[in-house]
Structures are given as C-alpha cells and as structure tokens.
C-alpha cells in the first residue's frame, strides 16, 4: 500500500529556517498536506499543495514538491517558539476522500 | 460553528469493558473517519463513512464498530476493550470542495 516517510525529530534555533522533509510512494497522489499538531490537540491543516504544482508559498511557509522523486518539503521561515509541534506529512490518492495516508510525524523543537 | 467535537477527552477502561467514543460535526461534511494515533506509528485509519448509512473498514478495524445514522454523528464503539487499544483516537471529517480533513481534539483512552 501507500507509504509516507518522514524523519522523527528536528531541532532549530529561533529565527532560523526549518525544513521538514517527506517522501511518499503513491504516484497517483492528488493532494499533499502538512498538518500541525500541538501538545494535547488534534491535527490542524497547515497547508497543502496540489500534485500539479511544484511550489506553494503562504506567508512564512513554503511547500516544495518534487513529483519525480516523490519528495515533499515544508520550509518555515523565521521559526518561532510557537512553531514547536509535530508536523505530519500526508498524501491523498485517487481512492476517495478517505484515502489519506499520514506519515509518523516530525517533532520540531525550537530553541530560544 | 464548532467543527468536529469529540467526547470524552479522557477515559480509563478495564479490560473487557465496552464504551462508545462520540463524534459530531456541524459542517455538513459527507465524509467522516476515525483514526488512532500511537507513538512511532502515526495515524492509522480504523473506520470511515462516505455518508449517512454507509460505513467501511480502514486499516485497523478489529475490535471496533461504527454506525452513521445521521450526517452529523459518527460514534466509535469498543466492543470489549483490550490494553492494545490504549491510544489517542481522532475523529475527522471532510467535505466536498474542501482540501483536507478537519480533526477533533481527540480522546485519550487507557485500557488497564
């Protein structure tokens, strides 16, 4: 079945840029997502990119998609302590709305 | 507009007990899903529904039942709780024209 892989942990200093990477296996992915989970909370949709795009920018967030290599990245500019959270990469294939596969999440630690 | 509401937030069960996790959404979304989140395993799909009266199994359905009698409600029933069902459970909904899932805040379940 489909698989989404991402590293477990990333530590950055406040003010630096953070880059969280993800790879996926489903070549028929239509949407790719980044969700943010703060402690004790549910997942919040942070941003997404449609599979026919290669870049999307939204304020401090930049999403890059390399469809050939099935690689997705999330760059957070000027990282703040409030960005400390777990970030989940997810992909949606063509099997319907329920067919969203999540990665295991990357814990971002921002050091003041 | 409350979004997706899950109750209870915390629950402790004894092995063999049954219970129902409640989930309600007020966004008129057709699609609803239950996920469980375990350390190192990301989110795994338990059951999903594409509309009232229609449910189907996800990746890890054993030990759980669901029903969808209305668009708004999608309860998850644990038939006979086992320690392996200790987890954080998330309900999520997805509407046509929306890019991604909206998640509830989760139910943290401990089975002793």
* Chain A positions in Cβ-Cβ contact with residue B33 (cut-off 8 Å): 98
Pair A9, A104: CB distance under 8 Å: no
**Are A97 and B94 a contacting pair at CB < 8 A?**
yes
Question: Measured between CA atoms, how close is B15 to chain A, in angstroms?
Answer: 25
pLDDT band at A1 (very low <50, low <70, confident <90, very high): low
Does position A98 have pLDDT exceeding 80, yes or no? Answer: no
* Chain A positions in Cβ-Cβ contact with residue B30 (cut-off 8 Å): 97
- B35-58 burial by CB neighbour count: b if 16+ within 10 A, else e? bbbeeeebbbbbbbbbebeebeeb
Query: With an 8 Å Cβ cutoff, is A93 touching chain B?
Result: no
* Average pLDDT value for residue range B54-59: 93
Q: Which of B30, B101, B102 sits opposite A100 (nearest CB)?
A: B101
Task: Say what the pLDDT of residue B49 is.
Answer: 94
Q: Which long-range contacts (CB under 8 A, 24 or more apart) does B58-64 make?
A: B58/A98, B58/B33, B58/B34, B60/B36, B64/B34
- pLDDT, tens digit, 9 for 90 and up, residues A57-89: 999 999 999 999 999 999 999 999 999 999 999
Task: Say what the pLDDT of residue B104 is.
Answer: 95
Q: Tally the C-alpha atoms within 13 A of residue B84's C-alpha that lie toward its C-beta.
A: 6
């Amino acid at each position: 079945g489909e698989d989404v892989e991402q590293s477990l942990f990333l530590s950055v200093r406040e003010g630096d840029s953070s880059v969280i990477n993800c790879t996926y296996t489903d070549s028929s992915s239509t949407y790719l997502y980044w969700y943010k989970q703060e402690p004790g909370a549910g997942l919040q949709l942070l941003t997404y990119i449609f599979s026919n795009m290669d870049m999307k920018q939204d304020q401090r967030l930049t999403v890059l998609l390399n469809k050939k290599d099935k690689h997705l990245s999330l760059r957070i500019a000027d990282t703040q302590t409030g960005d400390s959270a777990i970030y989940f990469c997810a992909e949606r294939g063509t099997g319907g709305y329920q067919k969203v596969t999540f990665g295991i999440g990357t814990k971002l630690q921002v050091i003041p | 507009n409350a979004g997706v509401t899950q109750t209870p937030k915390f629950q402790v069960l004894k092995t063999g007990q049954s219970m129902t996790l409640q989930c309600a959404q007020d966004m008129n979304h057709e699609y609803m899903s239950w996920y469980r989140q375990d350390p190192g395993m990301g989110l795994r799909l338990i059951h999903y529904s594409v509309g009232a009266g229609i449910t189907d199994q996800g990746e890890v359905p054993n030990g759980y039942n669901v029903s969808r009698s209305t668009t708004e409600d999608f309860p998850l029933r644990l038939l006979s709780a086992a320690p392996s069902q200790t987890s954080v459970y998330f309900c999520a909904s997805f509407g046509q024209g929306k890019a991604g899932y909206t998640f509830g805040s989760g139910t943290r379940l401990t089975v002793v």
